[in-house]
Amino acid sequence: MKLITVSGPPSSGKTAVILQVAAHFRTAGKSIGAIKFDCLSSCDDELYERNQIPVKTGISGNLCPDHFFITNIENGLRWGKKHGFDVLFSESAGLCNRCSPHIKGICAVCVIDCLSGINTPKKIGPMLKFADYIAVTKGDIVSQAEREVFYAGIRRVNPKATVTFVNGITGQGSFKLAKFLAETPDTDTLEEKYLRFSMPSALCSYCAGQTRIGERYEMGSVRKMAFDDETGGGDAK
C-alpha cells in the first residue's frame, strides 16, 4: 500500500485535491482510503464518503495536532492495510505552521493556495520546505502575474519539489500529480522511520490545561519576547 501524507494550511483545498487525484486512481482500478486529522471538528469525512472513499477521522482535541498525528499514523497504516487499500492518504492541516507531518521515505504533498498572500511560502516553513510535491490551488482566481510571483516564492523555499497548479474544482492539473504519486513505492511499516523535521519541544503549563495568566502560572518550557531591546530571546534576536 502507498502512504501519502498531505499537508497544507486550513482551507487550502487538501480534500478537493485528494478527491481529484483519487478519481484518477479509481479509473486505474485502485482502491483508496483516507485518514483525516483535525483539531476540533471536521466535515470532510462527508466529502470522502460521498465519493465512496472509506475515511477515518481523528480529532486531536486539546493535544497538539502534529503530536497527535505522529502517534496515530502507524495504527492508521495498519487500518489501511487491513482494508486492502492500494493508496492511503493522510490529510492534516498545519495550524501553527511550525510543524510538518512529512516522514522520511514517505511521499509528502503540500497543498497551498494562491489566495493566501505572496509571503505565505516563506511563512509556512517546514510543511512546504520538506515536501516532495507542491500542489498550488486557486490559481484560476488570481492574476497570471500573481501566479508567477507566488510560484517564484515557492521555488525559493523549496527548489527540489515538483510544483504544479492544480484546480480542485475542475481537476485541471490533477492528472500530473496522480502520475507522480503512482510512482511512489509501497510502505509496509513506519516503525523506525524518521520525521523530516522535529516537532516543537514546548511543554508548558498551558499545554497541560492552565488557563490563568501570570508569571507564577507559567511553568516548563517558557520563552520571553524582548520588548525593551535588552533581554530575552523569542522573536527578536
Partner 1 sequence: MTREEITTTAANTPLRALFKKYPYTENFFAAARIDVLDDDMTALELIRTVPDAYLADYGYTRAGFLAQIAEFIAETENHPETPVRGIASLTILGGRDKSGNQEETEITIRRGEIISIVGPTGSGKSRLLEDIESLAQRDTPTNRQILVEGKEPDDDLRYHLENRLVAQLTQNMNFVMDVSAEEFIRLHAESRGVPEAEIADLCERILSCANALAGEQFTAQTALTQLSGGQSRALMIADTALLSESPVILIDEIENAGIDKKKALELLSDNGKIILMATHDPVLALSGNGRIVIENGGIRKFIPASAEERALLGVLSALDETMSRLKNRIRAGEVLGEEVRELFPQPSKIRTKEEF
Binding mask 120-149 for partner 1 (x = CB under 8 A): --x--xx--x---------xxxxxxxxxxx
C-alpha–C-alpha distance, residues 41 and 84, integer Å: 27
- The DSSP code sequence of 39-82 is SS---HHHHHHHTT--EEEEE-TTS-HHHHHHTTHHHHHHHHHH
Cβ contact 43:93 at 8 Å: no
Please say which residue, 72 or 164, places its beta carbon nearer to partner 1.
Answer: 164
According to the binding rule CB under 8 A, does residue 173 interact with partner 1? yes
Binding mask 211-230 for partner 1 (x = CB under 8 A): --------------------
According to the binding rule CB under 8 A, does residue 9 interact with partner 1? no
Cβ contact 67:199 at 8 Å: yes
Instruction: Return the bridge partners of 8, or none.
Output: 93
**Which range of residues in 38-46, 88-96, 173-181, 211-219 is near partner 1 by CB under 8 A?**
173-181
To the nearest whole angstrom, how small is the minimum distance from the Cβ of residue 156 to partner 1? Answer: 6
Cβ contact 155:127 at 8 Å: no
Residues at the contact surface with partner 1, assessed by CB under 8 A: 24, 27, 114-115, 117-118, 122, 125-126, 129, 139-149, 151-153, 156-157, 159-160, 163-165, 167, 170-173, 175-176, 179, 197-198, 233, 237
